[in-house]
Amino acid sequence: MTATATAAIPSAAPAAAKGIKQPKPLPVPNSDFYMLAETLPAEELGVLKQVRAFMETKVAPIITKYWVEDSFPFELLPAIKELGIGGVGLKGYGCRGGSTLLAGLVAMEMARFDASIATFFGVHSGLAMSSIYLGGSEEQKQKWLPPMARFEKVGCFGLTEPLVGSGASGGLTTTAKREGDTWIINGQKKWIGNSPWCDIAIIWARDLADNQVKGFIVEIKTTPGFKVEKIQNKISLKVVQNGLITMENCRVPEENRLQGDNSFRDTAKVLKGTRYFVGWEATGCAMGAYENALKYCQERLQFGKPIGSFQLVQDLLAKMLANITASQCMVVRTAQLEVEGKLTDAHAALSKAFTTAKCRETVAWARELLGGNGIAADYNVGRFFADAEALYSYEGTYQMQNLIVGKAITGFGAFV
């Protein structure tokens, strides 16, 4: 797929205007250097191109304004619904279906323009819908997934708590107590993406009877005792609305408990899939920063020449492209392992840790190449630079991923 430059950046003084002789048109920035998108079958490549067109024409022109204002672009929801990609990669129940590779490339393509939109989509279509897809009964899937696939009901995923993040597997303090056919849930959840405005929360809580973690589908707007405060003053993924949820004696019917989930092992199944998904988002975020920086380097003049003609600048650009291409190859292989039924927690963890670390390095180099303009939101690169920080930490920090890998390769658990 031939890439065009991503979201428009203010001109850095066209070289031609200064009388510099340009024998032939400059290459259009293209971060899909090994042409991985072209490995999709034609029908799926068409879907990917629709996503790209949506991001380029609808999201790119307005997203910086929303990012600066810390707000979500609700005006985009009708167009997102029309795209018809809810539940991409999931089969049946009104979901978009498609290959695992398509689902990954959609996330990457979104993040190539804006990591917040990719995250909003990933939380809803990945975390929330996958929780029901993997842990729900047939009846629950029939009931909840079709309206979610159509974005009539938007979901969030509540695992992290104010006092429990990395240690969620053994330390959740949110409790669920069964009384007849009703569960009483008490506790708090922090950082929950989409929660200040969405409809459905997947809440993970510890059953007081057997001490095991169970999942619950909670209808946010109609459950008394369920309160959400928007988290203010973030410096990363500012378009995503994150919430602090407080639940005081929330009554949830047994029919809304995810019937297939009996312990944190079932929560971990959802996280395995979505963690490797973050690898796609991080790769896309690096791609967006690289393409914006490369375009800038082709246009920005110093010492009478485009800065892209300087050797040290080209060295940085080549290193950025190598980071991106290595990450792309890694996430494509994780998608193949998923299809082959061989993707382990350690595979997903290695990919999440590597791609987010390389993303962080790449966006920092992109910021550096823009000089002072690199810290101004108007030039896009500053947004990618800041957003990479959240990708690096959410859905399990770098250290947690490496501890998962470390256990798999040495045979020794080192979590505490």
Q: Contact positions toward ligand FAD, by CB under 6 A?
A: 123, 156-160, 165-166, 191-193, 237, 242, 390, 393-397, 399-400, 415-416
Residue 263: name the closest of 204, 303, 330, 305 by CA: 204
Q: Which is nearer to ligand FAD, 49 or 227 (CB)?
A: 227
For ligand FAD, the closer of residues 46 and 413 by Cβ is: 413
Helix, strand or coil for residue 17? helix
Work out how close the CB of 350 gets to ligand FAD at its nearest, in angstroms, rounded to a whole number: 16
Which of 40, 203 has the CB closer to ligand FAD?
A: 203
CA–CA distance, 90 with 298 (Å, rounded to integer)? 41
- What's the min distance (Å) between Cβ of 218 and ligand FAD? 14
**Least gap, CB of 272 to ligand FAD (angstroms):** 14
Query: What DSSP assignment string belongs to 137-187?
Result: -HHHHHHHHHHHHTTSS-EEEE---SS-STTHHHH---EEEEETTEEEEEE
Closest distance of CB 170 from ligand FAD, Å: 11
Nearer to ligand FAD, 56 or 266 (CB): 266
**Position closest to ligand FAD via CB:** 165
Closer to ligand FAD by Cβ: residue 37 or 400: 400
Rounded Cα distance between 73 and 94, Å, is 25
* C-alpha pair distances (Å), 103 with each of 100, 250, 291, 372: 5, 34, 22, 36
Report phi then psi at 155, rounded to 5. -115, 165
Among 179, 360, 189, 158, smallest CA distance to 253 is for: 179
118 vs 237 by CB, closer to ligand FAD: 237
The answer to whether 232 touches 70, Cβ cutoff 8 Å, is yes
CB of 196 to ligand FAD, least distance (A): 11
Tokens standing for residue 98 = 């498609």
CB of 139 to ligand FAD, least distance (A): 26
Of 232 and 311, which has the nearer Cβ to ligand FAD? 232
- In the DSSP assignment, the letter for residue 87 is T
CA distance 175 to 185: 6
Is there a contact between 191 and 160 (Cβ–Cβ < 8 Å)? yes
